[in-house]
Amino acid sequence: MWHGINQCFPNTEKQLILRGRDFNLVSHVKLDELVTESEKWAVSVRQDLHQWPELGNEECRTSERIKRELSILNIDYQEVLSTGVVGTIHKSAEKKTVALRADMDALPIQETVLLPFASRRKGLMHACGHDVHMAVVLGTARVLNEIKDEINGNVKFIFQPAEETTGGARRMMRRGCLSPRTDFILGLHVKPDLPAGTIGIKYGKVHASSDTFHITVKGKHSHGAYPEMGIDAIAAAAQIICGAQSIVARNVSPLNPAVITFGSVHGGTAVNLIADTVIMEGTIRALDSFSREFLKIRLKEMAQSTAKAYGARAEVKFKKGYPVLTNDNIVVDAVRNAVICETAIEKVVELKEPTMGVEDFSYYLEKVPGAFFFLGSGFKGRENDGIHSGGFEVDEKCIGIGIQLLVMSVLKLLE
C-alpha cells in the first residue's frame, strides 16, 4: 500500500493540494488506492510482455498489446513508425505537456531463469527490463486517466521501438512524437544493483556518447617463411590497437572519462601466410562533444601513421551514434521532490558519476528538458545478475514504485 499522499498532505485524505488549488480525486478514491490497483494490473501486463519478447522494429505483438490496453482505458493513441505507439491524455493546447517514454524491444539472449512467465521464444529475452518500463508507463497512464479531470495539463505516453539497435528515439521524433508541443520528458531504467524500493537520480551528465569505428589495414600478402616479401597487416594492426590506448592515457585528461575499445579484429587465412588485410571495429565513448570529436581525429591520425610506419595503409571510417545524455537539473529537482513524498520509496540515491554506457533517450533531451533516472529492481539479500544476461531478474515490487514516482512527477511538473 502506498501512503505518499497522506504523508505529504496529512490533512487532506481525500484531496491532492497543488499550487494552492484543491483537486478532488475521481470518485473520492485516494490516489494510493489507485496506484495499488494499477500496480497489480501492471505486473500482469509485464509478465505477459516478458513471455513474448520481440527484437527492435519487430515489436508487433508488443505494440498490439499496448494499443489494446490504451483502447480499454479510452486513451487516444497514434501509431508511429511500424511498431511505435504514442498515447495522449489531452486537456488543452494552452496547457503544459509532460511525456513519459518506455522502450519496447528485447534482446537476442537465451533466458536461463525458470520463471513461470519465462520467455517462450527461444533465444529472445527481455534482458534489459523494457517489459518493466512498458508496464510502469501503462500503469501510470491508468492512474492518470482516472484523475484526468484533475490534471493541470496534458500527458503523452511514448512507447518506442528499437532502443537497443537503430536508435528508435530519433526516428520517433522525426515522425512527430513530441509534436505539437512537449514541455518536459521523463524516462526510467531498471537498475539491478539498487534494491527495489530505491530510486537512483543523477544531475547533469548521465550516459556517454557513442560512436563506432571501422579500420581496414592493407598490407601485402606473402608466405610466412619469407616475411621480407610481404607487408604484415597483422603486425601493423596490433600496434594500432596498442597505440589507441595511449590516446586515452596521454591525450585526454585523466579527469575526463573516455574509452576506445576494439571489439572485433579479423585477419589472416592460414597459419603460414602473411596477412594482407585486417579489419577492426570498435566503439568510442566520451562525455563531452570536444572529446568525442578529438578522439576520432586522433584515432584516425594514429592508425594511418602507424600503418604507414609498417609500410601498410589504414582506411578509417566512423559511424555516429548516440549523443551524451544530460539531465535538466530543474527537472531532476522536481523528480526528487516527488520522491520525498513517497514513503514506499525507501531511499533516494544520488549517483555521483556518469556511466560510459549509452541510451537513446539522449535524443529527446537534446530537444526537450527532462530527466532519466534509475528504478531499483534488485532483490535484497542476494546477488543480482546484471542486465543483458540470461540470468537477469527483477523484483516486481519496483513496478509499483515506478508508477508512484511517475504519477507524482507528472503532477509536480504540471503545477
**Which residue type sits at 389?**
S
Coil vs helix vs strand at 186: strand
In this prediction, residue 193 carries a pLDDT of 96
In this prediction, residue 15 carries a pLDDT of 36
Interacting residues of 22 by C-beta distance below 8 A, sequence separation 6+: 12, 15, 16
- List beta partners, residue 79: 85
**Which residues make up the CATH 3.40.630.10 domain(s) of the chain?**
4-207+324-413
In this prediction, residue 3 carries a pLDDT of 40
Please state the φ and ψ torsions of residue 44, each to the nearest 5 degrees. Answer: -65, -40
Q: Could you tell me if 192 and 375 are in contact, meaning their C-beta atoms sit under 8 angstroms apart?
A: no
Q: Which CATH number fits domain 209-320: 2.60.40.10, 3.40.470.10, 3.40.980.10, 3.30.70.360?
A: 3.30.70.360
Q: Could you tell me if 90 and 350 are in contact, meaning their C-beta atoms sit under 8 angstroms apart?
A: no
Task: Show the low-confidence residues of the chain (pLDDT under 70).
Answer: 1-29, 341-344
Coil vs helix vs strand at 406: helix
In this prediction, residue 26 carries a pLDDT of 41
Chain-centroid distance of CA 219 in Å reads 41
Task: Compute how many other C-beta atoms are within 10 angstroms of the C-beta atom of residue 386.
Answer: 13
In this prediction, residue 20 carries a pLDDT of 34
In this prediction, residue 415 carries a pLDDT of 86
Kind of pairing between the strands at 222-223 and 273-274: antiparallel
User: Cell match 555521483: residue?
Assistant: 352
CA–CA distance, 232 with 343 (Å, rounded to integer): 65
| Per-residue model confidence as pLDDT tens digits over 350-395 | 999 999 999 999 999 999 999 999 999 999 999 999 999 999 999 9
As its CATH architecture, domain 4-207+324-413 has 3-Layer(aba) Sandwich (3.40)
Nearest by Cα to 185 from 169, 174, 198, 196: 169
User: Cell match 576520432: residue?
Assistant: 296
Chain-centroid distance of CA 142 in Å reads 23
In this prediction, residue 17 carries a pLDDT of 34
CA–CA distance, 349 with 364 (Å, rounded to integer): 24
